[in-house]
Amino acid sequence: MARIGDFAPDDLIGWMGLSPTIGGALGGYADAVYRHGRLAPRVREIARMVIALDNECEVCRNTRTTDGAADGLDETFYEHVADWPTWSGYSDTERLAAEFASRFVRDHVALREDDDFWTRAHAVLSDEEITDLTLSCALWLGQGRALRVLDVGQACRLTL
């Protein structure tokens, strides 16, 4: 049951109407991540899903893209997210994005200080991609936790 308003459990957007300026800006931020981000779809999705698992956000876990199959995003890809360090179906770049997302959520200070990680990151991602990954993770962490804390949208299956 939502913790604010009289929203149905799956009203993913309605609650933002209680703060239209900030809610609208958040919508624009999300649009920018998905429409203008420079990350490869699989790199973006592994990072997003690692954060979705940490946030325990059902709407985030259930979100898929309309063109996912064309990008190699089948259900097998999503089924192995928790096994990202060892599952052979992920590339080194996808694993690095998953590691970044996990550490972004759990220990951002240690991530900042890990020179070995940054050497590995710069070997497979451009500065622009690292920036997009960072800004995307910030969106997913914050938005996913907001949805989970307020118990909004947890019954949704969203297609982007």
pLDDT of residue 157: 54
pLDDT of residue 37: 96
pLDDT for the residue numbered 159 = 55
The CA distances from residue 11 to 8, 120, 137, 141, in Å, are 5, 41, 23, 19
Nearest to 72 by CA among 43, 98, 49, 96: 43
Going by C-alpha positions, the residue among 159, 139, 158 that lies closest to residue 25 is 139
Q: Which residues of the chain have pLDDT under 70?
A: 1, 6-12, 153-160
Taken as a whole, the chain contains a residue count of 160
The residue extents of the domains of the chain are 14-150
101: exposed, middle or buried (C-beta count within 10 Å: 0-12, 13-18, 19+)?
Answer: buried
Residues 6 or more apart in contact with residue 136 via CB below 8 angstroms:
33, 37, 39, 44, 47, 48
Distance (Å, rounded) from C-alpha 79 to C-alpha 49? 10
What pLDDT, on a 0 to 100 scale, did the predictor assign at position 69? 85
Q: What's the pLDDT at 10?
A: 57
Alpha-carbon distance of 95 to 90, in angstroms, equals 6
Which one of 1.20.1290.10, 3.40.640.10, 1.20.1090.10, 1.10.8.640 gives the CATH number of domain 14-150? 1.20.1290.10
